[in-house]
A = this chain, B = another copy of it.
Amino acid sequence: MLFTRAAGVATCTGPARGSDDADPAGLREGVAVAVESGRIVAIGSERELGGRFGQAEVVDCAGRLLTPGLVDSHTHAVFGGWRGDEYALRSRGVPYMEIARRGGGILSSVRHLRERSEDELLEMALPRLAEMLDQGTTTAEIKSGYGLSTEAELKTLRVIDRLREMQPVELVATFLGAHEVPADYRDRRQDYVDLVVEEMIPAVADSGLARFCDVFMEPGVFDRAESERILRAGLDQGLRPKIHADELEGSGGAELAAELGAASADHLGDISPEGVAALARSSTVATLLPGTLFFLGRTSYAPARALLDAGATVALATDFNPGSCPTPSLPFIMTAACSQMGMSPAEALRASTAGGAAALELPAATGTLAPGAPADLVLWDVSSVAELPYRLATPIVRSVWKKGKQVR
């Protein structure tokens, strides 16, 4: 298979931060991309590859932009119902934390998820994954965390596992038992942390259904000591750590993520300067979710420029969930990153591909177009990298390939 006549091939092999000398999108012009057995085998001049792969099926990109498939490294896409009703309340000025205190928020999603069977959750998740694919996502992380009991958490992880066979988006599962303290543990939160550490984590590790263990570390949710205990218990059982850190209020989550060597610290809306420095010194990816802050009505976003300038690796993700960010669209997240966070289009694209792959600790070259990388490709109805975030809220995906197979 030979992809020819693209306006540009964004290899996404550049550094996270753009400069006069370095293009995060790794844009190449006048090149073709050769694919064999689901992997990229060569990128080179049209003429050279036309000779080497003369028998291959040709995909004529006809002046359009070719990029890696997008990697959405932070979603909660398995849930039991939308929460538009809460959105109407919030638009009247009722704050998210107040809605949560009234039994809404995450706990209403917990009720929804517990009420639904595995098959029902599966049926509800399929169209959401199709929407993500429609927006260019070929690999996505999905978290549990609306179960908050050992059985309901395992049920969620089994749904994620079964979804793998039923549709083309490649899925990475994260256990998020520490998403919230469930209603039945409200007056004995210590018991809930014990349950997560002593029962859930061993059961999840034993099931082999999750790669990561995540915690919502935030004032009013889990504190630093609880978060560290949970993540260390996960590490002991082979679950790599991730943290919902400093989302709406600073809590030292970024610092803890760096200290534990977490795969990523996510949100960072109120990260401290010390947190920025800690992430920059570490291999922990700073995963930014600007759609959430936009949707919640905030006007200040994570300090993307400070993170990039300090040398951190940055990923962008949707946070797709029914409460604080019901969007499957990484292209919209790229617009938010460029318009509101000062990222360049090339930085935003790199953060939504190679950056996301790094946040999921996927094999090197995933999220890029380079020999050896999986042939996950998106052809866009635009001709430049800048136009990806520029075409605000417009569907511009033309075609998608997963491991060399056209899936859209």
Chain A residues with a Cβ under 8 A of chain B: 82-85, 87-88, 91-93, 131, 134, 291, 294-297, 299-300, 325-329, 331-332, 335, 338-340, 342-346, 382, 384-387, 389-395
For A390, list chain B residues within 8 Å (CB). 82-84, 87, 326
For A93, list chain B residues within 8 Å (CB). 342
CB-based contact B297/A332 at 8 Å: no
Question: With A91-B343, A342-B93 as given contacts, are A82 and B394 in contact (CB-CB < 8 Å)?
Answer: no
Partner of A296, one of B87, B134, B339, B342: B339
CB-based contact B394/A327 at 8 Å: yes
For A295, list chain B residues within 8 Å (CB). 335, 339, 392
Question: What are the nearest 5 A-B pairs in CB distance?
Answer: A299-B299, A332-B393, A84-B386, A84-B387, A327-B392
CB-based contact B91/A391 at 8 Å: no
For A91, list chain B residues within 8 Å (CB). 338-339, 342-345, 389
A342, A389, A394: residue with the most chain B Cβ atoms closer than 10 Å:
A394
Partner of A327, one of B328, B329, B346, B393: B393
Alpha-carbon distance A88/B345, docked complex (angstroms): 6
A134, A329, A395: residue with the most chain B Cβ atoms closer than 10 Å:
A395
How many copies of this kind of chain does the complex include?
2
For A386, list chain B residues within 8 Å (CB). 84-85, 87-88
Partner of A384, one of B84, B92, B328, B343: B84
CB-based contact A87/B329 at 8 Å: no
For A87, list chain B residues within 8 Å (CB). 338, 345, 386-387, 389-390
For A299, list chain B residues within 8 Å (CB). 299-300, 340
Alpha-carbon distance A359/B387, docked complex (angstroms): 31
Alpha-carbon distance A389/B297, docked complex (angstroms): 13
Alpha-carbon distance A91/B340, docked complex (angstroms): 8
Alpha-carbon distance A315/B328, docked complex (angstroms): 28
For A84, list chain B residues within 8 Å (CB). 345, 382, 384, 386-387, 390-391
Alpha-carbon distance A345/B299, docked complex (angstroms): 20
Question: With A297-B340, A340-B297, A345-B91 as given contacts, are A392 and B85 in contact (CB-CB < 8 Å)?
Answer: no
Alpha-carbon distance A332/B392, docked complex (angstroms): 9
Alpha-carbon distance A295/B88, docked complex (angstroms): 24
Question: With A87-B345, A299-B300, A390-B82 as given contacts, are A294 and B327 in contact (CB-CB < 8 Å)?
Answer: no
For A83, list chain B residues within 8 Å (CB). 390
Partner of A339, one of B297, B382, B384, B394: B297
Alpha-carbon distance A390/B299, docked complex (angstroms): 18
A329, A338, A339: residue with the most chain B Cβ atoms closer than 10 Å:
A339
Partner of A394, one of B131, B346, B385: B131
- Within the complex, the shortest CB–CB distance from A19 to chain B, in Å, comes to 11
Alpha-carbon distance A329/B393, docked complex (angstroms): 7
- Within the complex, the shortest CB–CB distance from A239 to chain B, in Å, comes to 31
